[in-house]
Copies of this chain bind each other. A is one copy, B any other.
Amino acid sequence: MSKRPLFYSAFVMNTASHVLHGLWRAPDAQNHRFNSLRHWTSVAAEVERCGYDLLFFADVFGLRAPWNGSWRKAVEGGIQVPVNDPSVLASALAAATTDLGIVFTSSIIQDHPFNFARRMSSLDHYTEGRLGWNVVTSFNENVFRSFGHDGILDHDARYAWAYEYLDVAYKLWEGSWDEGALVQDKKRSIHADPAGIHKINHVGERYRVEGPHFVSPSPQRTPVLFQAGASPAGQLFSARNAEGVYISSPHPAAAAALTQETRALAAANGRNPDDIRFAQGLSFVIGDTHREAVRREDEIKRYLDLEGVALHVLGDAGVDPGGRSLDTPLSELGEFKGVRGYARWAAEASGNANPTIRDLAWVMEGANRVVGTAEEIADYLEEWREAGVDGINVYHATVPGTFTEVADRLFPTLRERGLIATEKSGSLRHKLFGRGDRLPDTHPAAAYRGAFADNDLHNGVVEADSVGAPA
């Protein structure tokens, strides 16, 4: 398999408690300063200094399911509530850095694609081609009910929506402006060439978008496309569209199966299987000796909010414990999504044949955590690389502490071992693929290049009744 260096993503959310719940209470944690611009510009500058390739913002903007009948625990624990919008941070982060990739999550429910495409193109200009978009369809009842829906749309309807949403964005990003149409020639008095700018006249199930795109071509045109959906529909969506796929496999062998399957699916959909980069989510606790690493993990666990972890995991599976304690066996919670897998996993880890909510929370909070010396961790990362993984998405306990610590204690060894790149410049797409700023020709978005040549802004008006899909 590949001997390329891995890429490294610093994984955050614009909130106090992202994954390792409770750690915001640690004395050195700055996680709770998410309302401060200086906090975020410092985090970005530090993450760049440390040698990460990109800063990746997850996002949530609705309440999870109730827990014990209310949102008391979620709010008191700061379990992904409140969460500020990450998109409005991007330009400040760009100004505070020079090479760092800046990736954030935006759901198709949030924004109209005409407006979203304009925002992203503006940001791809302002980041000088360092922008990435994590495409998500929301799965949260409260979100749907804050956007005018009666409740959550089903999985198939959400993916149908996502395909059309991308289609509109692709048309605007790749098809609406020809290369070189922004002329800006003061002497010839030509700011832009009307023959090189085109309406897209999209007509679909959900959207009708005339265009043209109102932003000139940015360095990458389409921002680098990330996706993390693990369902079959999500995997197909990734295989067709994504350039970065974030996975959370339990071990390298599982990752090998998943990456091979997704790459094969990409090839079956006409893409080059090497046009997708996979990043495995991991957290690290590093010691000079293995024993020191274990001791340092115990320090982290002191601040852990186990009920917050249980709420996050079981709440997303639709479980409300109804006032029962964390010592309640999972078997008393009835049927819920994934129950057998969770129970087996919790039983293996705890040695308890009838594992409790607490047993599950312990195993979940430690999932994908790697504890050891830098050499031990480097060995393990080689296993992930052998499994076809291209990058590591680094979870944090504290912000920015974890990112600094990983860089100081782990990255030097990874550099010696060829597991981290030393050269980190250019557009985000170039950094990840090493072959320029733009999408390859086999990506579906590329089909819209030149597709709207007839609808240019020079040759007169498209009449209202002729608006339709291009010939």
State whether the Cβ of A77 lies closer than 8 Å to any Cβ in chain B.
yes
Across the interface, which residues of B come within 8 angstroms of A305, CB to CB?
189
State whether the Cβ of A145 lies closer than 8 Å to any Cβ in chain B.
yes
Pairwise interchain contact A84-B125, C-beta atoms closer than 8 A? yes
Chain B residue nearest in CB terms to A149: B208
Chain B residue nearest in CB terms to A14: B122
Which A residues, 94 to 152, have Cβ-Cβ distances below 8 Å to chain B? Answer: 94-96, 110-112, 114-115, 118-119, 121-123, 125-128, 142, 145-148, 151
Across the interface, which residues of B come within 8 angstroms of A148, CB to CB?
112, 207-209
Do A115 and B111 form a contact, CB below 8 Å, given A69-B460, A75-B193, A211-B146? yes
Across the interface, which residues of B come within 8 angstroms of A37, CB to CB?
91, 94-95, 125-128
Q: Which of A60-68, A251-259, A355-363, A423-431 contacts B (4 or more CB under 8 A)?
A: A60-68
A127 to B84, CA, bound (A): 13
A369 to B64, CA, bound (A): 56
A205 to B112, CA, bound (A): 19
A291 to B212, CA, bound (A): 46
Chain B residue nearest in CB terms to A202: B146
A10 to B83, CA, bound (A): 32
State whether the Cβ of A435 lies closer than 8 Å to any Cβ in chain B.
no
Q: Which of B111, B112, B214, B216 contacts A62 (CB 8 A)?
A: B214
State whether the Cβ of A16 lies closer than 8 Å to any Cβ in chain B.
yes
Q: Which of B16, B24, B71, B214 contacts A457 (CB 8 A)?
A: B71
A84 to B77, CA, bound (A): 39
> Among the interface residues A115, A209, A458, which one has the most CB atoms of the partner chain B within 10 A?
A115
Interface size range of chain A in the complex: 35 or more
Pairwise interchain contact B17-A191, C-beta atoms closer than 8 A? yes
State whether the Cβ of A25 lies closer than 8 Å to any Cβ in chain B.
yes
Do A32 and B184 form a contact, CB below 8 Å, given A151-B464, A216-B82, A457-B75? yes
A464 to chain B, nearest CB (A): 7
A264 to B17, CA, bound (A): 49
Q: Which of B66, B92, B126, B464 contacts A126 (CB 8 A)?
A: B92
Across the interface, which residues of B come within 8 angstroms of A110, CB to CB?
112, 115
A36 to B216, CA, bound (A): 12
Across the interface, which residues of B come within 8 angstroms of A207, CB to CB?
148
Pairwise interchain contact A197-B25, C-beta atoms closer than 8 A? no
A197 to B74, CA, bound (A): 12
Across the interface, which residues of B come within 8 angstroms of A76, CB to CB?
189-194
Across the interface, which residues of B come within 8 angstroms of A331, CB to CB?
none
Do A24 and B186 form a contact, CB below 8 Å, given A70-B457, A82-B192, A145-B210? yes
Bitwise interface map of A from 9 to 38 toward B, beta carbon under 8 Å scored 1, else 0 = 000001011000010111100001001111
Which A residues, 41 to 89, have Cβ-Cβ distances below 8 Å to chain B? Answer: 41, 61-63, 66, 69-72, 74-78, 81-85, 87-89
A36 to B119, CA, bound (A): 14
Q: Which of B22, B36, B91 contacts A92 (CB 8 A)?
A: B91
Chain B residue nearest in CB terms to A127: B37
State whether the Cβ of A459 lies closer than 8 Å to any Cβ in chain B.
yes
State whether the Cβ of A215 lies closer than 8 Å to any Cβ in chain B.
yes
State whether the Cβ of A467 lies closer than 8 Å to any Cβ in chain B.
yes
A460 to B38, CA, bound (A): 36
A359 to chain B, nearest CB (A): 22
Pairwise interchain contact B115-A83, C-beta atoms closer than 8 A? no
Other 19 A-B pairs with CB < 8 A, given A37-B91, A78-B191, A91-B91: A17-B191, A35-B216, A37-B128, A61-B115, A63-B457, A74-B457, A75-B194, A75-B457, A75-B458, A77-B191, A81-B214, A82-B213, A84-B122, A84-B214, A91-B93, A110-B115, A114-B147, A115-B147, A148-B209
A residues adjacent to B (C-beta < 8 A): 14, 16-17, 22, 24-27, 32, 35-38, 40-41, 61-63, 66, 69-72, 74-78, 81-85, 87-96, 110-112, 114-115, 118-119, 121-123, 125-128, 142, 145-148, 151, 182, 184, 186-187, 189-194, 197, 207-216, 218, 305, 457-461, 464, 467
User: Can you list 26 A-B contacts with CB-CB less than 8 angstroms, sorted by A residue number?
Assistant: A14-B122, A17-B191, A24-B191, A32-B184, A63-B212, A66-B461, A70-B194, A70-B458, A71-B458, A74-B194, A75-B192, A76-B194, A77-B189, A77-B191, A83-B214, A84-B118, A84-B122, A84-B125, A87-B88, A88-B122, A91-B93, A92-B94, A92-B126, A145-B467, A146-B211, A148-B207
